[in-house]
């Protein structure tokens, strides 16, 4: 009789495009989000948590990859034959909430949200299928004062978490200006919005790649197309040289000298386009509102080259760029780049209500911002201290050790009792070391009878062992005996000095 094969063991590995987050990473993220939340709260925004799952119909065709509407999501069909999907951002769920609860919510409705989102896209270096976002949006405010407020709040949030002034700039543009330029260039027909839609999509994506491709690469994509270093050819928008020159004004370095002069020159170019002129006027108003609050171009600046990839933006768009340099994988210097972006999307809620509902907001890439803080040395320089470890010397005195742990916790001190095999005391100290514990508490039968405990300063012990001479080691004992009643005070002294 053939022997039955045992079932194959599952492989212990994360799915492709996903990752695990351990203690310090989770703690650092939580602390950063706490600080951002304080800023949002100060601005009067309320928290909102939505389901991780939405109907595919509710998510709509506003996915980041405009070439694949309704693709790029993790979707499945339930028993009722409805198609459901994991949310790909936090904005689409907000549009559904704003429509579903429109009679109950205040107008304008100001909310912030944070959590994981999922995109069924090809993973790559630093590109995952699950990542965190932190959003803030105002729904129901048509005035560009709402856009200016979002930009100011984003600036405050970056500085609050540890990105100093001078290391970032929030760049602001307006989709209406882009549309005005494309109207002048002949690739937008106000009478038929769908005409030239494909070409406009290529134009927007090309302009968005100016930092990576440079002016020549962008101009190639505006024309017949571009061949990259590998020989792959990307078909262009098919614009003439004259049309391309008009669009390339968005990347003109001369436009970055002064915001007022910049807007004046752009207004001259788009004067034949009412929508373009309206966009210029809105940008001037945003700049004026920000200046009145003390947000100058060193923090928030008008930049015609900001595009933003999502097709649902209808007005001002903004992007937070970190300007300090880091080294890439090949040791080359480069600017860190964007960590947040957003804009006005007045038509997103309309999909549910049939009526235009003004909205504007921003999304912070949490993992990107955390990476920036690590690059600046604001987090991750030293491992967070672990808990105080209460060692176990006598198995029959477990209740006494648990009482010590409870006393430390009641005093607000993070503590745990060693729960492994207590037979080898050395293993207990190795465990404490692996947990980055600052203190170990030791009490055998003799200490218990005398009403004392041994308090071992593990941080000082490590420093002495690494650098001190034998004489210094003897004069600075890392382990002291204290009365049982003085345990909490002794631990606090050590934690205060570490």
CA 215 and chain centroid, separation? 29
Helix (H, G, I), strand (E, B) or coil at 212: helix
- Statement: residue 158 has pLDDT above 60: yes
Q: Which of 66-80, 357-371, 376-390 has the lowest average pLDDT?
A: 66-80
A 10 A CB-CB count for 11 gives 6
**Residue 372 vs residue 49, higher pLDDT:** 49
- Statement: residue 300 has pLDDT above 70: yes
A 10 A CB-CB count for 26 gives 10
CA gap 276, 177 in Å, rounded:
4
Give the model's pLDDT for residue 256.
52
Task: Examine residue 435 and state whether it is found in any structural domain, yes or no.
Answer: yes
Give the model's pLDDT for residue 464.
62
Going by DSSP bridges, is the β-strand pair 53-55/439-442 parallel, antiparallel, or unpaired?
Answer: unpaired
247-259 as b/e: b if 16+ CB within 10 A:
bbbbbeeebbeeb
Q: HSE-up of 433 (CA within 13 Å, CB side)?
A: 10
The pLDDT > 70 percentage for the chain reads 90
Q: Which of 290-294, 328-332, 364-368, 425-429 has the lowest average pLDDT?
A: 328-332
Give the model's pLDDT for residue 457.
92
**Average of per-residue pLDDT across 213-220:** 85
In sign, the C-alpha dihedral spanning 208, 298, 89, 190 is negative
- In 373-423, where do the E strands start and end? 388-390, 415-417
Q: What is the pLDDT of residues 29-48, one digit of tens each?
A: 999 999 999 999 999 999 99
Q: How confident is the model at residue 65 (pLDDT cuts 50, 70, 90)?
A: very low
Q: What is the pLDDT of residues 240-257, one digit of tens each?
A: 888 888 888 777 655 555
- In 162-281, where do the E strands start and end? 168-174, 225-227, 233-235
- Statement: residue 328 has pLDDT above 60: yes
Task: Examine residue 394 and state whether it is found in any structural domain, yes or no.
Answer: yes
Average pLDDT value over all residues in the chain: 87
The sheet carrying 439-442 orders its strands as 415-417, 388-390, 439-442, 452-457, 479-483
**Average of per-residue pLDDT across 460-468:** 62
- Statement: residue 290 has pLDDT above 80: yes
* Distances, alpha carbon 447 to alpha carbons 395, 408, 444, 451, in Å: 15, 18, 5, 6
Q: How confident is the model at residue 132 (pLDDT cuts 50, 70, 90)?
A: very high
Q: How many domains does the chain have?
A: 1
Task: Examine residue 52 and state whether it is found in any structural domain, yes or no.
Answer: no
* Distances, alpha carbon 199 to alpha carbons 67, 71, 101, 238, in Å: 12, 21, 37, 8
Instruction: Confirm if 340 and 89 have CB atoms less than 8 A apart.
Output: no
pTM: 0.83
CA 363 and chain centroid, separation? 8
User: Which tokens in the block code for residue 368?
Assistant: 């990107």
Residues 6+ apart with CB under 8 A from 158: 168, 320, 339, 340, 369
Give the model's pLDDT for residue 15.
92
**Average of per-residue pLDDT across 380-401:** 87
- Statement: residue 64 has pLDDT above 70: no
CATH number at residue 429: 3.40.50.800
CA gap 222, 244 in Å, rounded:
6
- Statement: residue 474 has pLDDT above 60: no
Return left, alpha or beta for 160; rule: phi > 0 is left, psi -120 to 50 is alpha, else beta.
Answer: alpha
Q: Which of 110-114, 146-150, 226-230 has the lowest average pLDDT?
A: 226-230
Task: Examine residue 450 and state whether it is found in any structural domain, yes or no.
Answer: yes
Task: Examine residue 306 and state whether it is found in any structural domain, yes or no.
Answer: no
Rg of the chain taking only CA atoms, in angstroms: 29
**Residue 123 vs residue 317, higher pLDDT:** 317
* Distances, alpha carbon 190 to alpha carbons 182, 197, 203, 351, 427, in Å: 11, 12, 17, 21, 75
Task: Examine residue 484 and state whether it is found in any structural domain, yes or no.
Answer: yes
A 10 A CB-CB count for 27 gives 13
A 10 A CB-CB count for 245 gives 13
CA gap 228, 235 in Å, rounded:
11
CA gap 35, 38 in Å, rounded:
5
Task: Examine residue 487 and state whether it is found in any structural domain, yes or no.
Answer: yes
Q: Which of 107, 106, 105, 73 is nearest to 89 (CA)?
A: 73
Beta bridge partners of 124: 127
CA gap 98, 349 in Å, rounded:
7
Q: Which of 58, 121, 146, 160 is nearest to 362 (CA)?
A: 146
Task: Examine residue 473 and state whether it is found in any structural domain, yes or no.
Answer: yes
Q: How confident is the model at residue 383 (pLDDT cuts 50, 70, 90)?
A: low
- Statement: residue 449 has pLDDT above 90: yes
Domain range holding 441?
388-497
**Average of per-residue pLDDT across 206-229:** 83
Give the model's pLDDT for residue 329.
65
Q: How confident is the model at residue 238 (pLDDT cuts 50, 70, 90)?
A: confident
Give the model's pLDDT for residue 334.
75
Instruction: Confirm if 43 and 149 have CB atoms less than 8 A apart.
Output: yes
Give the model's pLDDT for residue 333.
74
Give the model's pLDDT for residue 209.
78
* Distances, alpha carbon 42 to alpha carbons 38, 110, 178, 288, in Å: 6, 12, 33, 22
**Average of per-residue pLDDT across 370-396:** 85
Q: List Cβ<8 Å contacts ≥24 apart for 255-263.
A: 255/304, 256/303, 259/287, 259/297, 259/301, 259/302, 260/284, 260/287, 262/302, 262/304, 263/287, 263/302
């Amino acid at each position: 009789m053939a022997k039955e094969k045992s079932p194959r063991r599952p492989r212990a590995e994360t799915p492709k495009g996903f990752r695990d987050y351990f203690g310090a990473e989770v703690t650092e993220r939580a602390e950063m989000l706490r600080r951002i939340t304080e800023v949002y709260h100060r601005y009067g925004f309320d928290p909102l948590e939505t389901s991780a799952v939405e109907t595919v119909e509710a998510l709509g065709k506003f996915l980041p990859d405009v070439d694949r509407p309704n693709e790029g999501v993790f979707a499945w069909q339930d028993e009722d034959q409805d198609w459901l999907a994991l949310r790909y951002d936090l904005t689409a769920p907000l549009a559904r909430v704003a429509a579903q609860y429109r009679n109950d919510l205040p107008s304008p409705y100001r909310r912030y949200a944070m959590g994981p989102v999922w995109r069924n896209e090809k993973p790559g270096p630093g590109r995952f299928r699950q990542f965190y976002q932190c959003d803030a949006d105002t729904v129901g405010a048509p005035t560009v004062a709402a856009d200016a407020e979002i930009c100011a709040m984003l600036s405050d949030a970056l500085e609050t978490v540890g990105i100093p002034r001078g290391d970032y700039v929030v760049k602001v543009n307006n989709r209406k200006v882009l549309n005005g330029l494309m109207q002048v260039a002949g690739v937008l027909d106000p009478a038929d919005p769908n005409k030239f839609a494909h070409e406009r999509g290529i134009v927007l994506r090309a302009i968005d790649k100016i930092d990576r491709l440079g002016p020549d690469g962008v101009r190639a994509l505006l024309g017949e197309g571009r061949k990259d270093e590998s020989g792959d050819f990307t078909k262009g928008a098919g614009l003439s040289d004259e049309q391309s020159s008009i669009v390339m004004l968005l990347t003109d370095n001369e436009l970055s000298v002064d915001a007022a002069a910049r807007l004046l020159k752009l207004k001259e170019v788009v004067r034949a386009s009412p929508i373009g002129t309206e966009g210029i006027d809105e940008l001037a108003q945003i700049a004026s509102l920000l200046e009145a609050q003390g947000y100058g171009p060193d923090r928030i600046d008008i930049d015609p080259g900001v595009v933003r990839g999502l097709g649902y933006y209808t007005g001002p768009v903004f992007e937070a760029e970190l300007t300090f340099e880091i080294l890439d994988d090949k040791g080359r210097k480069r600017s860190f780049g964007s960590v947040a972006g957003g804009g006005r999307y007045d038509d997103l809620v309309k999909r549910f209500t049939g009526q235009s509902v003004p909205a504007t907001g921003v999304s912070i890439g949490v993992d990107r911002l955390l990476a920036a803080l690590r690059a600046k040395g604001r987090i991750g320089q030293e491992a967070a201290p672990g808990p105080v470890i209460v060692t176990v010397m006598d198995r029959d005195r477990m209740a006494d050790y648990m009482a010590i742990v409870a006393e430390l916790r009641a005093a607000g001190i993070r503590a745990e009792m060693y729960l492994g095999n207590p037979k080898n005391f050395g293993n207990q100290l190795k465990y404490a070391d692996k947990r980055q514990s600052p203190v170990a508490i030791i009490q055998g039968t003799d200490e218990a009878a005398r009403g004392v405990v041994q308090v071992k300063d593990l941080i000082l012990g490590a420093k002495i062992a690494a650098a001190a001479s034998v004489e210094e080691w003897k004069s600075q004992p890392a382990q002291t005996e204290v009365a049982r009643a003085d345990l909490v005070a002794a631990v606090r002294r050590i934690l205060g000095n570490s």
